[in-house]
């Protein structure tokens, strides 16, 4: 039975790019399933090509009311904005 291993994918992708090896050779050298590596590499490329599909904008807003400062987190996605008081952050 194969064992599950956690990988630092960003570190592996950087090592792969620097190695100048083929995906197959790189994976064989590191004992990684080449099909799985290819899937992860494609997922990474999709995020790079279309970053809005994976992340949304997050902003911390400070405002001063009389003698105290309050913070709130504002999450924006498209035309939607969610305001969360600092007690939720």
40 Cβ contact list (under 8 Å, min separation 6): 9
Average pLDDT over residues 4-21: 88
Claim to verify: residue 49 and residue 36 sit in the same structural domain: yes
Claim to verify: residue 18 and residue 46 sit in the same structural domain: yes
Look at residue 85 in the predicted model and tell me its pLDDT. 74
Look at residue 89 in the predicted model and tell me its pLDDT. 46
Enumerate long-range contacts of 31-39, CB under 8 Å, 24 or more apart.
32/7, 37/12
Encoding tokens for residue 60? 């911390």
Percent above pLDDT 90 for the chain: 35
Domain count, the chain: 2
**Would 2 be classed as within a structural domain?**
no
Q: Which residue has the higher pLDDT, 55 or 11?
A: 11
Tell me which residue range forms the domain holding 21: 9-53
Average pLDDT, the chain: 78
Encoding tokens for residue 78? 């498209």
**Would 3 be classed as within a structural domain?**
no
User: pTM for the complete prediction?
Assistant: 0.52
């Amino acid at each position: 039975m194969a064992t599950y291993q956690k990988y630092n994918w960003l570190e592996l992708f950087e090592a792969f790019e620097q190695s100048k090896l083929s995906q197959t050779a790189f994976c064989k050298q590191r004992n990684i399933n080449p099909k799985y590596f290819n899937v992860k590499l494609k997922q990474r490329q999709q995020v790079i090509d279309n970053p809005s599909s994976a992340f949304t904008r997050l902003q911390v807003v400070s405002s001063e009311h009389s003698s105290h400062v309050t913070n709130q987190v504002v999450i924006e996605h498209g035309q939607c904005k969610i305001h969360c008081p600092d007690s939720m952050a």
